[in-house]
Amino acid sequence: GLNGARTSYFHQSIGGYHAAKPAGMQDLFDFHIYRNNLRVLNMLNVKYIIQQDEEGKKFAITNPEVNGNAWFIERLIEVQSTDEEIKALDSLDVVNEAVVNTVDFSQIDEFNFPKDSLASITLKEYKPNHLTYRTNNNNNGLAVFSEMYYPGDWKAYIDGKSVDHFKVNYVLRAMNIPSGEHTVEFKFEPKVIETGSKITLASSILMIILFLGGGVFSIFSLRKKKEG
């Protein structure tokens, strides 16, 4: 169930229990999912919905309107608060539109994007800490990714070059992608691990220096004894 301690094997799930459930996801449940807002399920890439018959038997139905892993949109809708952002999901056309809080992301100055009917964006590789997409678009576009937005530790790249991404639809990621074919990546690169790696490297170098210094000192002392 949505709040059960058990969830599906080998499948991602928006349900399940966790004492530290992300607040944004809990808000989506409270404001939209419990109220059967299918648009929100579509943007969360919910392909299957588990239901229960009169006898208590569970069965899965397919969601034919799911958005997929990522998609290009036509319009960004500007709001000025998180309350306005989550309320906008009531009537948002999640296939063609996205809503952004420009108080948090004031650098955004483009809100309309010509949509190429043949444009595509495909998830090529999925790992918990590394996502790889392939895009093809005749126009510059804005892509929405059905992944939770976590500022700071998740880094975005286009063709290996670091780029910015931002939050839309209260919880999801979005990124400007230039025309043509590109490889888009999200990598989980937490600062604490980067700092720890630098400390480990510095410690290793220091140990090597001390080891070599001790060896040189021993050789020098041995030579002095022989000369004496």
What's the average model confidence in pLDDT over 85-91? Answer: 96
- 161 in the same domain as 92: yes
Residues 151 and 195 in one domain: no
> 167 and 105, same structural domain?
yes
Asked if residue 209 belongs to a domain, the reply is: yes
Quickly tell me which residue has 């804005």 as its tokens: 142
For 105, the enclosing helix (H) or strand (E) is none
Kindly tell me if the per-residue pLDDT of 134 is higher than 80.
yes
**Is residue 120 in some structural domain?**
yes
The total of structural domains in the chain comes to: 2
Q: 109 and 167: one domain?
A: yes
Confidence band for 126, pLDDT divided at 50, 70 and 90: very high
pTM of the model: 0.80
Assess whether 76 and 170 both reside in one domain: yes
Rounded Cα gap, residues 165 and 65, in angstroms: 26
206 occurs within a structural domain? yes
* 103 and 157 housed in the same domain: yes
- Evaluate whether residue 22 is within a structural domain: no
Asked if residue 214 and residue 174 are part of one domain, the reply reads: no
**In whole angstroms, how far apart are CA 6 and each of 3, 123, 213?**
9, 27, 57
Asked if residue 132 is part of any domain, the answer here is: yes
> Which residues, in sequence order, are CB contacts of 80 under 8 Å at separation 6+?
101, 102, 103
37 within domain boundaries: no
What backbone phi and psi angles, to 5 degrees, belong to 183? -105, 125
120 and 226 inside one domain: no
Residue 111: pLDDT band with limits 50, 70, 90: very high
CA separation for the pair 120, 35 (Å, rounded): 31
Q: Distance (Å, rounded) from C-alpha 192 to C-alpha 198?
A: 10
Residues 139 and 179 sit within 8 Å (Cβ to Cβ): yes
Nearest residue to 114 via CA among 136, 139, 95: 139
Q: Say whether both 79 and 181 belong to one domain.
A: yes
Question: Does residue 141 sit in the same domain as residue 105?
Answer: yes
**pLDDT tens digit sequence for 147-204:** 999 988 999 999 999 999 999 999 999 999 999 999 999 999 997 655 554 556 556 6
Q: If pLDDT is split at 50, 70 and 90, which confidence band does 222 have?
A: low
Residue 181 domain boundaries: 70-188
Q: Are residues 177 and 197 in the same domain?
A: no
Are 175 and 151 part of one and the same domain?
A: yes
Q: Strands 97-101, 75-79: parallel, antiparallel or unpaired by DSSP?
A: parallel
Comparing C-alpha atoms, which of 115, 226, 90 is closest to residue 179?
115
